[in-house]
Each structure stands twice: as structure tokens, then as C-alpha cells.
Amino acid sequence: MTGETNLKTLLGSITPALVAGDYVFCTVENAGYGALAEAAPIASFLEAEGLTLVLQKQTAMDQGLPFDGTFSCISLGVNSSLQAVGLTAAVTAELAANGIGANVMAAYFRDYIFVQSEFSDVALGILSKLSKNNL
């Protein structure tokens, strides 16, 4: 398993950056993996209620997919291990303390935080400060 596991090192290494685009979360009932592949979702998750897709807002609109809210994606920029303990808890707790909800996705190399688009700049500042406080 690659990636950092030490929480202090992880927090001090955060380099938050916006991923280009406006993102939405949609669900497609009675769908399986591969459904709407042409929509090029950046993530999908099969739930009992349907296939959840995370995709560009414009693509969802073009496909006629309903969604609630528009989100910005923030990469934490640190190569975290999938076995690391506490990174997402520390990040989401800091955002929550400032009234910002967070949807977290852990990929193989990095973690991504989806926040309501109107809070993206504030969230970036909070995460940058969190990193500086852990150097």
C-alpha cells in the first residue's frame, strides 16, 4: 500500500486545490455500472436505491438528470494511504466547525472534498490554515 499514514504529516502536507468544474450528485434508479458511461462521471457508487453518479453539472443538465445543489471539488493534494486514520475526520471536523458540509471521496492516491460551490473559497482557506497549523 502506498501513501502516507502519519496524521500529523498528512495534515501538514495538505495542498488544497480546486478541481476544475461544477459538480453534481445524481442517481439513476434500477441502473448498474456502465449506465450513462457517455456522461463520463468522475465517480459512481451502486446503492440500493440506484446508481449514484458524480458528474459535471452541464452534463447532468444535458442528460436531463435531476440534482440538488452544485458542488466544488477540492483535492487535498497529499498522497494518503487508504489505511491512514484520521485525515478525513480532521478535515471534515474543521469544515463543520465553520458551518461547511463536506462530502468526502477517497481515491487510491488522494482524498477529494466536495463542498457547496458558494463555500469553495472559504473551504480552501480553512484547509490551507489547517495545513499550516500542522507543519
Residues 6+ apart with CB under 8 A from 91: 14, 76, 102, 104, 111, 113, 127, 130
Nearest Cα residue to 99 out of 126, 62, 135: 126
- The pLDDT of residue 1 is 56
* Intervals of the chain under pLDDT 70: 1
Is 3 within 8 Å of 14 (Cβ atoms)?
Answer: no
In CATH terms, the superfamily for domain 7-132 is VC0802-like (3.30.2130.10)
Q: HSE of 105 in the Cβ direction (CA atoms, 13 Å)?
A: 16
Cβ 67 vs Cβ 2: under 8 Å? no
What local confidence, expressed as pLDDT, does residue 126 receive? 97
Domain boundaries in the chain? 7-132
Which pLDDT score is estimated for 61? Answer: 97
